Structure 1
Amino acid sequence: MEILEVGCGEEGNLFPFAQMGCRVCGIDISKNRISQAKSIYRQRNISAEFVCSDMFEYDFHSRKFDVIICHDVIEHIENKNRLIILLHHLLKINGIIFCAFPLWQMPFGGHQQICRSWMLSHSPFIHPLPTAVYRRMLILFGESKECVSELLAIKKTGLSVEKFRALIKSGSLDISQEIFWFINPHYQQKFGLMPIKLHTITKLYYLRNFLPPHTGAY
Structure 2
Amino acid sequence: MQKRHTDRKRYFCELATTSGSFYVDYVKKYKNIDSATRILEVGCGEGGNLLPFARLGAKVVGVDLSEARIEQARIFFLETNQKGEFHNVDFLQMASPRSEDLFDIVLVHDVIEHIEPQFKEAFISRIKMFIKDDGIVFFRFPAWQMPFGGHQQICRSPLLAKIPFIHLLSKRAYRWLLSAFGESVPCIEELLSIKRSRVTIEKFESLCRKLEYQVLDRILWFINPHYKVKFNIPAIKLKLCKHIPYLRNLFSTSCFYIITPQKKVLR
Structure-2 separation of matches of 1:85 and 1:12: 25
What are the Cα deviations for residues 104-126 of structure 1, in whole angstroms up to 9, with x where unaligned? 11111111111111221111111
Counterparts of residues 190-205 of structure 1 (less than 5 Å) = 190-205=230-245
Report how far residue 191 of structure 1 moved.
3.0
Structure-2 separation of matches of 1:130 and 1:166: 24
Q: Secondary structure at the residue paired with 2:136?
A: strand
Q: Secondary structure at the residue paired with 1:138?
A: helix
Is 1:217 matched up with 2:253? no
What are the Cα deviations for residues 169-208 of structure 1, in whole angstroms up to 9, with x where unaligned? 1111100110000122222233332111111210222111
* Equivalent of residue 42 in structure 1, options 74, 78, 99: 78
Report how far residue 20 of structure 1 moved.
1.6
Q: Which structure features the higher share of helix residues?
A: 2
Equivalence for 2:53: 17
Structure-2 separation of matches of 1:12 and 1:70: 13
Normalising by structure 1, we get a TM-score of 0.95
Counterparts of residues 44-123 of structure 1 (less than 5 Å) = 44-62=80-98, 63-78=101-116, 79-123=119-163
Q: Does the CA contact (< 8 Å) of 2:219 and 2:257 recur in 1?
A: yes
Q: Are the structure 2 counterparts of residues 60 and 88 from structure 1 closer, same or farther at C-alpha, using a change threshold of 3 Å?
A: closer
Q: Does the CA contact (< 8 Å) of 2:105 and 2:138 recur in 1?
A: yes
182-191 vs 40-49, which deviates more?
182-191
Report how far residue 90 of structure 1 moved.
1.2
Two-structure CA RMSD over aligned residues (Å) = 1.3
Q: Does the CA contact (< 8 Å) of 1:88 and 1:171 recur in 2?
A: no
* Equivalent of residue 130 in structure 1, options 144, 166, 170: 170
119-128 vs 143-152, which deviates more?
119-128
Is 1:151 matched up with 2:151? no
Equivalence for 1:4: 40
Q: Are the structure 2 counterparts of residues 9 and 191 from structure 1 closer, same or farther at C-alpha, using a change threshold of 3 Å?
A: farther
Q: Secondary structure at the residue paired with 1:174?
A: strand
Equivalence for 2:216: 176
Extract unaligned runs of 5+ from structure 1. Answer: none
Extract unaligned runs of 5+ from structure 2. Answer: 1-36, 259-267
Q: Secondary structure at the residue paired with 1:66?
A: strand
Identity of aligned residues (%): 45
Structure-1 separation of matches of 2:246 and 2:97: 41
Structure-2 separation of matches of 1:31 and 1:193: 33
Structure-1 separation of matches of 2:228 and 2:105: 23
